[in-house]
Amino acid sequence: MNQATLQQSGKGYNVATVGNLSTFEGKAFLKEVIGTTGMEVSFGSLAPGQAVPFFHHHKLNEELYIVLSGEGIFTLDGNEVPVQSGSVVRIAPAVSRCTKCTGEAPLIYLCIQAQEGSLQQYTMTDGVIEQ
Ligand code: ZN
């Protein structure tokens, strides 16, 4: 089991680590460690054949799963969707979901939660190029 560890803080920023992702195991939530205010972020890992032991949905938050390595299946409202390294899965709050590792290596993923419909500006409308 890996834990997120705060490494450095400055005015307006925090730096944390969950360690080497190639050996990451378990689940690590970052919000409390890194101080995000508009999203929850977590790393997750499932061993070969392992599934998240429950289905769940959310009240307000959409989720974005980014598969970092391995292969698996997302079950989304009963539909089985194969994923692999590089897959990006956006899930609306009400969709029932579960994840299973189907490959011979661990399925390692990043999950970002944010309130559905809350994004007001992004990329060129929010970023300010300084030089
Ligand atoms: Zn969730």
Distance 23 CA to ligand 1 centre (A): 23
Q: Which structure tokens are listed for 14?
A: 């925090």
Distance 116 CA to ligand 1 centre (A): 13
* Res 2: pLDDT: 78
Q: How far apart are CA 127 and CA 131, in angstroms?
A: 12
Distance 129 CA to ligand 1 centre (A): 34
Q: What is the DSSP letter of 32?
A: H
Distance 63 CA to ligand 1 centre (A): 7
Please tell me the pTM assigned to this model: 0.94
Q: Which structure tokens are listed for 101?
A: 């590792």
Q: What is the DSSP letter of 38?
A: S
Contact present, 39 and 33 (Cβ < 8 Å): no
List pLDDT tens digits, range 64-114. 999 999 999 999 999 999 999 999 999 999 999 999 999 999 999 999 999
Distance 131 CA to ligand 1 centre (A): 39
Question: Vertex 44, ends 1 and 78: CA angle to 5°?
Answer: 135
User: Which neighbouring-strand residues pair with 110?
Assistant: 43, 66
List pLDDT tens digits, range 37-67. 999 999 999 999 999 999 999 999 999 999 9
